[in-house]
Structure 1
Amino acid sequence: MKSNAEKLCFTRFIINFPIGSKISFGRMTINSKIYRLPGEADNLEKIIDREIKDNKDSARIFNKGREMDKISGTPFSSSDPRFLHLLGIVGTYNYSIHTFVKLDQDIYILETPGLDKDFVKKALESDTQIAKSLTSQKQFDIPNVPGICIDHAFSSIEPTFENIEFGIRLKDFPDVHFSVQTIKNGDGVIPVNLAHEKSESMKQGMTSGLETWLSRLKTLREGKRVVSDWHGEEMLLRVPGGFGKPSIHKFIFRASGLPHDPLHPFVELTMDSGVEGNQTASREPSLSDEEAVALWDWLLNSIHVRPNAVAHRSEIPQPNE
């Protein structure tokens, strides 16, 4: 499979995947929520007008005559002509900021809701910094400078908070969906204990009369695992069929990461077979247990930190392909 692989940059990492697979990004946050509107650059005015219209009722009902309210509902620019800000009124006392960025043929929108008036200036400065940092990037380009890869774009800043989600639909196994989520930790980390979660779910199932069904649950593998330099746990299950559903694979890897470390975020990797559309357990899996485990290992073993992902990083884990 290695000879038929492409590489994708996500945040500061690289993963291999089979050629022809479909990549779909979900939630993206770089301090502010950010999402992409592909091919909509020529419709920027219409998109802003729609956002203004959506905010008009709140502005009419809750406008308090503050100085800040006078600029709400009208897009305004900063020093960079590539993007515009829009301040909206949310509820009685709060504000929202939408920043619209044109990159080639796409629009990226940064969204920061629920702001008290005392935080608007700081949020505008943050969104301006993020907007200025964004550059367009082809999907399979691998940059060689510090920063973060997102959906067809690259940000050169080091954000305080980030959360990136994406999924891979495999061309040769269309019922298999592989998903990735990474969250940069703050002061604390999210604890991981997959065995405990499984035990608690089994107890709940037993009390709900699912003893027979649970007795057919097959654990293909579970325990500690290191992916790149992420020390975490994995659990590979073959979920039994029943109640009109087929037997499917449900694999998960989770790592807590380290506080404030961009190379050791909280990570959750999942792989499901039997997916039809966006519905799990909707068709018979195209993979045997052995094939599913082999594909899982191939994907996870390919993940590694890309060169120069962060500034002043001397030791970079290499892929185990």
Structure 2
Amino acid sequence: MASPNQKVENMFATTRTICAGRFLIDIPASATVVYGDLWGPYEIERYPNEAANIEAYLSRYAEKLKEDRSFASKQLLGPHSMLGKVVKGAAPGQRLFFGVDRGSSIFYEIYSLMPVGADLFVQIGTSSHKDYASVVEILNSTARRIEPLRENGVPTYSGFCIDGALIKDDIESDVEKVQMGVRLQEFPDVHFSIEMTRKDFRVESDAIEPRLEEARRRAFAMGWGSWYSRIKTLRKGDRTLGPWKGFEVLVHIPSRKEIGESHDFNFVALGIPKNPQVPTIDMKLDTGVHDNRPGAVKPSVTDEEALDIWDRITKSIRLRPVASSK
């Protein structure tokens, strides 16, 4: 008998496995992946096929500094300032550029430019003049440990996957964060996203339950009680997913004024502080999305199809196995 969700069944007939953070996720082979914030431990940006253009990037940062130099003060303007200097890093081809942090006139914004295969990765750290050497060492450590991630390959050794690269384990990172979105060719308005962050402390405000209560309170306070009461709950409650014990709420939101109907699925687990194998996780699925606005177009999936897509992706998430170091 044919599946009632035959289009979803066909979409998942061929899948591919991607590495995100320390985990693996199975997605349709036709899907595309987009990345948001990546931290390990500082913010990292990828520029595909730009490794050969590192000098051009250094020139851009130098031009930017001409505009930002007026923000600098104290030691950054002294005789021993590193402002505007370019130095070699610890890894082959790596360069470090010292700019100024606009948010603090006495802090450097240090750019670490790292050629990784054909790509250029730029990691950005901030530091006072007194402590910049320690920040440079962290940036150098990342540059020593980052290497290309094969497009269809899954690494077998321990590390943290980001967009197009793996940061191999060496020392414990202060922060590991990956934001990733999955876009479905067959259902362009359906957006799945996941964020995983290793944190040192449990942040109770990240939990989904208080946010739900605040949303309900605000809806009634603003006179939207009738609309709120028509939200259709498809599933809600505690859910154990792999190493996580979290909370899930899956709803179908009715249209309101200029905003059309949509699905809003969310799973949040606070994880275990300082444990990279159980980070805080926040997963979402939205429908009716156009220009990143849920409810902008009519959803292309039914409730049943949305649930099917959600379960297939979320149930596939598992810790990436690594070879023993012995």
TM over 0.5: yes
Residue 92 of structure 1 and its aligned partner are, at CA, apart by 3.2
Describe the shift of the 1:118–1:292 C-alpha distance in structure 2 as closer, same or farther (beyond 3 A).
same
Return the match for 1:174 from 188, 196, 202: 188
* Equivalent residue runs for 1:266-285 within 5 Å: 266-285=280-299
Q: Percent identity?
A: 27
* Equivalent residue runs for 1:292-307 within 5 Å: 292-307=306-321
Question: What is the TM-score normalised by the length of structure 1?
Answer: 0.91
CA-atom RMSD in angstroms: 1.9
Count residues in correspondence: 310
d(CA) in 1 for partners of 2:212 and 2:297?
24
Query: Which aligned runs of 4 or more in structure 1 are off by greater than 6 angstroms?
Result: 309-312
- The residue that corresponds to 2:72 in the other structure is 62
Describe the shift of the 1:11–1:119 C-alpha distance in structure 2 as closer, same or farther (beyond 3 A).
same
Query: Per-residue CA shift, 1:179-231, capped at 9, x if unaligned?
Result: 01011020434455433322221121111111221121111111011111111
Describe the shift of the 1:192–1:98 C-alpha distance in structure 2 as closer, same or farther (beyond 3 A).
closer
Q: Which runs of 5+ in 1 are unaligned?
A: 313-321
Residue 282 of structure 1 and its aligned partner are, at CA, apart by 0.9
Describe the shift of the 1:36–1:180 C-alpha distance in structure 2 as closer, same or farther (beyond 3 A).
same
Give the SS at the match of 1:88. Answer: strand
Query: Per-residue CA shift, 1:141-168, capped at 9, x if unaligned?
Result: 1111000111010110241211110100
- The residue that corresponds to 2:167 in the other structure is 155
- The residue that corresponds to 1:109 in the other structure is 122
Question: What is the TM-score normalised by the length of structure 2?
Answer: 0.89
Residue 55 of structure 1 and its aligned partner are, at CA, apart by 1.2
d(CA) in 1 for partners of 2:222 and 2:120?
49
Q: Which runs of 5+ in 2 are unaligned?
A: 1-8
- The residue that corresponds to 2:83 in the other structure is 72
Decide whether the 8 Å contact of 2:158 with 2:168 is kept in 1: yes
d(CA) in 2 for partners of 1:78 and 1:100?
9
* Equivalent residue runs for 1:62-101 within 5 Å: 62=72, 64=75, 65-69=77-81, 71-90=82-101, 91-101=104-114
- The residue that corresponds to 2:228 in the other structure is 214
Query: Per-residue CA shift, 1:237-276, capped at 9, x if unaligned?
Result: 1011121222110000000000110010000000001111
Describe the shift of the 1:108–1:190 C-alpha distance in structure 2 as closer, same or farther (beyond 3 A).
farther
Q: Letter of the aligned partner of 1:23 in structure 2? A: V
- The residue that corresponds to 1:318 in the other structure is none
Describe the shift of the 1:58–1:171 C-alpha distance in structure 2 as closer, same or farther (beyond 3 A).
closer
* Equivalent residue runs for 1:177-256 within 5 Å: 177-190=191-204, 193-256=207-270
